[in-house]
Every structure is written in C-alpha cells, then in structure tokens.
Structure 1
Amino acid sequence: MELTEGTAPERLRTLPSRLINMAALSANRLVDRVLADEGVRRYHYALLAALEEFGPASQAALGRRTGIDRSDVVAAINELAERALVERSPDPADRRRNIVSITAEGSRRLATLDRLLAAAQDELLGPLSDAERRQLVDLLTRVVERQSAGDQARLMG
C-alpha cells in the first residue's frame, strides 16, 4: 500500500511503529520472493550465513545465533543436508550431539543468495542514498538493540 495523502489519518501516516511494520512487510515479501525463486527460505539463508561466519556449530548453538526455534532448526538443517549444502558429524566432545558444517557447495550457494539479497535490498531502499541507507541501518540497529536489551532485562528480572 502506497502512503498517499488521504489514504490514512495523519496520526497513522506518521506513527513510527506503523511505518516500520509496513516497511517490514514489504521487505519480507521481497526477500521471500527472491529466496523462493532459488528454492530456499529465510531459515536456510540464516543458517548458512551463521555457519559461514562462525564455523561449525551444534544445532542448539545455531538456533541461539539465528533466533530460530530448535525444532525449526532441525527441519531446516535436514533440508540443507539433503541438498548437500551442510553436513553433520558427531561432536567429538559429546557423541549424542551433531556438529553442523557448511559444505563448499553451501558456500557457493550462500554467495549466490548474498548477491540476490543485495539486489533486493537495493530495490527496497531505492529511494534512499547510500548515506541514508547507512543511517537507516544505524538507527534501526539502535532500536533493535535497545528492545533486545529490554527483553533480556525482563527475562532476568
């Protein structure tokens, strides 16, 4: 939905939480479409990115790093393993646990997905200059970190 005069009351058009939500909905649709065209989902991308950046990890650690529920991690890892994008091996420290690693094919696939998602980001943020894009990322990061810190404090308190 395009924000044009008369489409919504001004108090809605200027409500940051509504604007963030509308932008997020557009972003999610765009990213989901790009990934679906490649036969993957956001979970797959997040897991491959975590493995590439942090190295081999247990499924539990991957869930914590990506914010994906444990049962969803297992299902997504199964799908990635079927495509030979990741492999599991027994944890030498605890044979009951598996360590997941990204394969060479998984790294190649991740590089392709990175390029496609970069183009999607360009499409989403087309009206913004490079400086404005950096500023938007900085501002949203501050909002997210503040909310995450508050969530942690509520859990601890």
Structure 2
Amino acid sequence: MTDRRDLAAMLHPLVQSLVAAELPVLAAHGISMWGYAVLGALDDSSVRTQTALAEAIGADKTRIISTLDKLQHAGLISREPDPSDRRARILTITDEGRKVRRSVRAVIQANEARVLARLPLGDRQGFLRAVQTLSELSREDIVGPT
C-alpha cells in the first residue's frame, strides 16, 4: 500500500482543467464538446450510423440529435439515409468539418504541449504512453466484473 492519492482523485482536477482550457477554443470555432467528439469519431473512422456514433462517443443517441443538427447546419457533417435501412442515417464528416476538427485539435494540443513541458522529456513520453494504454481499456477492464 502506498500513500499516493487514488488515480481518480489525481486525474479528475487535471481533466477538469483541461476541459476548461478547451471550452474557449471550441466556442471560438462554433462547436460544443459533444460536437468536437462527433467530428473526432467521424474523422478517425469510417462512416457510421447515428446509433453507432452515439455508442462510440458514450452519448445517448436521442440526446446527440441536436448536436448533429447543428453540425449539419454548419456544413461540418452530412447525414444521408442508409440505402439498406431508410430509418437509419449514415454520417460523414465534410471537408470543412475535418478542417475545423484539425484546427481545434492543433490549438488544444499546443496547450497540452505547454502543460506537458513541465515534465522531463522521458516522463512526458512515458506519461503519454501510459495514458494511451489505459484509455484503450474497456470499462469492464477498469470496473471489474459486476
């Protein structure tokens, strides 16, 4: 047993501060945090249905409809009927959506680089590797069997 604080106790204030730093960047680009999550999911993978997208970003499929409406109205995504199931919609990021996502990510990651620069290079690289590895764990891997 160690005297260190729990991971959640250490990470929660850090994550809150990182989110607070992102909010003005997102606002300047006219998108919400959910909008950014949608653009990221669509830019990082193939075309998705609204249901699959909601699952991928951890959102309730009925609650992201207004986010999708705003992104579509802004020309950042397109939604077309699925030819194999007309009730479903196929989502695609547009070139403009890709441009906005990359612009936002560049500003966010520049701030992250500023914060990470407080760590020695080896610690910084190790921290990023560790966070990447842990972020790929499933919820069940973290929570354990229920």
TM-score category of the 2 structures, normalised to the smaller one: 0.7 to 0.9
Among the aligned pairs, what percent are the same residue? 23
Greater Cα radius of gyration, structure 1 or 2: 1
- What is aligned with 1:124? 115
Q: What is the CA-CA distance between 1:46 and the residue it aligns to?
A: 1.2
Q: Note if contact 2:117-2:124 (Cα within 8 Å) is conserved in structure 1.
A: no
Change (3 A) 1:37 1:62: same
Structure 1: how far apart are the matches of 2:138 and 2:100? 33
- What is aligned with 1:139? 130
Query: Over the residues paired in the alignment, what is the CA RMSD in angstroms?
Result: 2.1
Structure 1: how far apart are the matches of 2:89 and 2:138? 34
Unpaired segments ≥5 residues, structure 1: 1-10
- Give the number of the structure whose residues are more often helix, by fraction: 1
1:15 aligns with 2:5: yes
SS in 2 for 1:88: strand
Structure 1: how far apart are the matches of 2:141 and 2:62? 25
1:55 aligns with 2:84: no
Structure 2: how far apart are the matches of 1:85 and 1:59? 15
Pairing partner for 1:45 from 8, 26, 36: 36
Pairing partner for 1:103 from 85, 89, 94: 94
**Does 83-92 or 113-122 show the bigger shift?**
113-122
Letter in 1 for 2:127: L
Structure 1: how far apart are the matches of 2:18 and 2:116? 9
Change (3 A) 1:61 1:137: same
Structure 2: how far apart are the matches of 1:76 and 1:91? 20
Q: Normalising to structure 2: TM-score of the pair?
A: 0.84
Q: Normalising to structure 1: TM-score of the pair?
A: 0.78
Letter in 2 for 1:122: A
Q: Note if contact 2:50-2:61 (Cα within 8 Å) is conserved in structure 1.
A: yes
- What is aligned with 1:153? 145
Q: What is the CA-CA distance between 1:133 and the residue it aligns to?
A: 2.4
Structure 1: how far apart are the matches of 2:87 and 2:139? 36
Change (3 A) 1:129 1:34: farther
**Does 138-147 or 35-44 show the bigger shift?**
138-147
Counting matched residue pairs gives 142
> 1:15-42 CA distances to partner (integer Å, 9 max, x unpaired)?
1332211211111111122212222122
**Does 64-73 or 90-99 show the bigger shift?**
64-73
